[in-house]
Amino acid sequence: MNEENKITRRQVVAGLGATLAAAAVSPALAATGTSNKAIADGPAKISDPTKLYPKPPYKSQPQPWPGLQSKMDPIPDCGETSYKGSGRLMGRKALITGGDSGMGRAAAIAYAREGADVVINYYPSEEQDAQEVIALIKKEGRKAVAVPGDLRSEDFCKTLVQKAVTALGGLDIIVNNAGRQQSVVSIADLTTEEFDATMKTNIYAPFWIIKAALPHLPAGSAIIGTTSEQAYDPSPDLYAYAQTKAATMNYVKSLAKQLGPKGIRVNGVAPGPVWTALQISGGAQPEKQQMFGSWTMLGRPGQPAELASIYVQLAAADASFATGQIYGSSGGVGMP
């Protein structure tokens, strides 16, 4: 063998490592839409999170339940102009409750921009906000279906799932996001009717929806629940709401164990103080609403857009080992 053709064992291993690294990086770049041009354009821009969004105090702005985010000041940012997709959920089929506003709206917009078709559910009085979301999904060339209705009804929850399966030709993502939050200072003032409405919306509805959807969910499907920092550090005036969020955290962990062998992942998102219609429609006492989120390390509440990527990650196929997990986003306060 000629001297110039000789290579050492170390060079072979190094060359093989470089080849494998290149092979691993190339599909990853392709999957995220990263191109050589994007790399050549320089590093991504970063922003100071303390200065990204308006800080409290906010004006008092009570609305009747369940509230419209389009009438809030400031209007929550759900990623309408900021979220950029890269095809991570191409061809997926999602059902999102509470998809008209807040985290549900942010997830719906993000899912559509990642390539998914989406069915959103919402309370009938939220039609104005819901139609904005439907328009944004359709703008991405994805199928968008609106199914208004009251999740406190078992019959409606069953109908919702059937409509979603029929409209999308199946289901493989379920986001149980809709929630009822009403601030009541004393348990003595909490009525059975209000307690029941909170339980039906936050606990019964996900049970009914998951049970109805399960026969339609193939291996690889994802179920995502919206829990809360209230599951870990409950506020005294959210006695009913907080315990439903602890139950949400628990059903995520329980169902993950039950459905894991079937190839279905179950995870949860636990927001801290995030600026949504919950706060202005009875979910917070007036003084807390006006200073909402001021106690976080960033001096402001979160915005739904800041959690959108978490919902995407938990639904995406490359999170295939994540199940039974609770992902927090709280601005440095609360848990997890």
Catalytic residues: 241
- Say what the alpha-carbon torsion angle 125, 126, 132, 137 is, to the nearest 10 degrees: -110
DSSP character string of 197-260 = HHHIIIIIHHHHHHHHHGGGPPTT-EEEEE--GGGTS--TT-HHHHHHHHHHHHHHHHHHHHHG
Residues 58, 331, 305, 202, CA torsion sign: negative
Q: Which two tokens stand for residue 256?
A: 């993950």
Sheet holding 222-226, edge to edge: 144-148, 117-122, 93-97, 173-176, 222-226, 265-271, 326-329
Q: Which two tokens stand for residue 60?
A: 């008092």
Q: Which two tokens stand for residue 26?
A: 């190339």
DSSP character string of 170-215 = S--EEEE--------S-GGG--HHHHHHHHIIIIIHHHHHHHHHGG
